[in-house]
Structure 1
């Protein structure tokens, strides 16, 4: 997931960091899409694959914590539902950017700009499923009272904190420049950097569980 994201969104399409700013004119946005249409579209294919693999990652986290949740795995289903919703959202945002590139230079620059805006607004502004997903994972960890928890207890607080850090992405709905726009520290880098750390660290913990053979134990979190 991370490798495909770096190839698609960072190297080819240049959506991270964004080559197009929210304060750019419609003509500037259209010109960027027209001049880089092929690289953008190829990059978005890689980006879509990366985002699809995020769903696989989310299933792996839910499977890990499901082993301890007992007979009423509500938080596991919350993780899966929010992961699916979040994955669908950001795949759609790639489709909007691809649409912007598809007829750049053939349609009004304002149309290209609108599709570009919509892509960033969906990417950063629809933080709700991601936040609830991270909180559900954190609660799964904190409610595990067994002697051999799936993940260290402190990572439950970390996951909840990560979910809270996704919320600043919502400022993309209101600001066209500065730290709260989609190129800003608050709106873009705080959610993305925290999300990256969250994914990489929990991936490490999960791989450690698998390598240690800690994959089959079904003891519920109540300890009964």
Structure 2
């Protein structure tokens, strides 16, 4: 593979941040009904899935595709961080493990959502509610790993300013802020209603509407950095030929 082709692939992988946001936003916020109240009875929960069955199933498919793009983007993001770190690259290794766990674990949660919405009118409402709780709370309980990955990425970005492949400092600070926002999901197992419950403002909306913009911002920065590096490499190659 030529150097030009390698850069094209890497820029495509960086652009996967956009594809992830598009598929996940349409699946999760357009097709997919928002979280039902965790204080509902089993019958109310089952009726919710019966009423919104098609929306859930379409959302599961779209979000599952989004997870594939997220995993691709994560690998590219951490590859670029590893170039900055140098040395043992231990921070990058922990970061990639922390961030890559999210699309993998979320894919399993999406499968559970699919099972819940598959035949909600033919199984016990208690089973439907139990599986619903498993899927919703399980998808949110990845927050500790996300927090670690975002925080380490932010620290590494801020500590490596001034290098040719550096990410902008604002992304480092943004990473730390988003990492703090993930703590809004800490109390989800202690509340069934209100802002601290799984469907509340702190746990659901704060995390959802900061995670996506962070990935989009990082992907845009990656795309620009790769474009700049490609231009510099081309200029260096032409200079070598002239000499």
TM-score by length of 2: 0.81
Q: CA deviation at 1:11?
A: 2.0
Q: Partner residue of 1:3?
A: 22
Q: Distance in 2 between matches of 1:66 and 1:209?
A: 14
Q: Partner residue of 2:122?
A: 106
Q: Distance in 2 between matches of 1:214 and 1:70?
A: 20
Matched, 1:63 2:79: yes
Number of residue pairs the alignment of both structures matches: 214
Alignment RMSD: 2.0
Q: CA deviation at 1:88?
A: 1.7
Which of structures 1 and 2 has the bigger CA Rg?
2
Q: Partner residue of 1:220?
A: none
Whichever structure has more helix as a proportion of its residues is 2
TM-score by length of 1: 0.87
Structure 2, unaligned runs of 5 or more: 1-19, 234-243
Q: Which moved more, 1:149-158 or 1:161-170?
A: 149-158
CA deviation string 1:35-90 (max 9, x = no partner): 33233222201111112221112112112221121131111111211122122221
Structure 1, unaligned runs of 5 or more: 218-224
Q: Partner residue of 2:32?
A: 13
Q: Distance in 2 between matches of 1:101 and 1:147?
A: 50
Q: Partner residue of 1:142?
A: 158
8 Å contact kept, 2:165–2:225: no
Q: Distance in 1 between matches of 2:230 and 2:158?
A: 18
Q: Secondary structure at the match of 1:21?
A: coil
Q: Partner residue of 1:164?
A: 180
CA separation of 1:215 and 1:168: change in aligned 2, threshold 3 A: farther
Q: Distance in 1 between matches of 2:32 and 2:163?
A: 47
Q: Distance in 2 between matches of 1:214 and 1:141?
A: 20
Q: Secondary structure at the match of 1:182?
A: coil
Q: Secondary structure at the match of 1:171?
A: coil
Match 2:106 to one of 81, 86, 90: 90
Q: Distance in 2 between matches of 1:120 and 1:216?
A: 46
Output aligned runs, 1:176-215, within 5 Å.
Answer: 176-213=192-229
8 Å contact kept, 1:126–1:170: no
Q: Partner residue of 1:81?
A: 97
Q: Distance in 2 between matches of 1:165 and 1:103?
A: 35
Q: Which moved more, 1:94-103 or 1:112-121?
A: 94-103
Q: Distance in 1 between matches of 2:92 and 2:54?
A: 40
Q: CA deviation at 1:146?
A: 4.2
Q: Distance in 2 between matches of 1:137 and 1:120?
A: 27
